[in-house]
Amino acid sequence: MAERRYRVLVFDWDGTLIDSASAIVECIQQAARDMGLPVPSRERASHVIGLGLQDSLRHAVPELPPVGYNAFAAVYRRNFLAREEAISLFPGVRELLAELAAQGRALAIATGKSRRGLDRALDASGLRAHFVATRCADETQPKPHPAMLDELGAELGAPREAMLMIGDTSHDLEMAANAGVDAVGVTYGAHPQESLRALAPRGLVSSVAELRIWLRSNA
């Protein structure tokens, strides 16, 4: 078997593996309503998907003082939990991850979710067994800081040239660039194709099926 170019494949979660971007946007907007704040536009709320809590709220609800961030997060979480069971994986994700694991790839996650949120999502989806390492925004520097990828590489003994980041937001691709790691952008998630293309990823794909083909040919 030919040697694989990338030994470690790092996936974003929301908007990349699971079809949650619309729910996240709606929950941000509803939390703003619940707290009597100006409701951010869909574009503004979409932009913050993948960022850490402080960066997200600073952009999405700039009228909210930092002292209110924890309260906003609690209201958002309540709204999201009410919708969570209805959120599903993108078609083909299970098959893709099973194929990659069978190839002996090390699969990892770098996400803006909290550790508690990711653990709940991994258990609910049944995907936990596929991933050998994960990093969340509340346990290291959030995206687009390179810390998640730096730490995953160190944990898995992988140099940056052996890693590939796969994500749906400019924050994912900026994190990869900051870490010196190649990236693939998926255009079916939170951020528009043009914002991903501007960051010059190695590839852009419009579905999980296209991602599977791209990885077979290029990774």
C-alpha distances in Å from residue 31, one per residue of 38, 63, 68, 121, 150: 10, 13, 12, 21, 33
182 has catalytic annotation: no
Q: What is the dihedral of CA 176, 181, 186, 191, to 10 degrees?
A: 20
Distance CA 93, CA 100 (A): 11
12 has catalytic annotation: yes
Contacts of residue 148, Cβ cutoff 8 Å, sequence gap at least 6: 10, 110, 135, 140, 141, 175
Distance CA 33, CA 60 (A): 13
Q: What is the DSSP letter of 50?
A: T
Is the dihedral angle over the CA atoms 56, 11, 214, 2 positive or is it negative? positive
- Catalytic residues, which ones? 12, 14
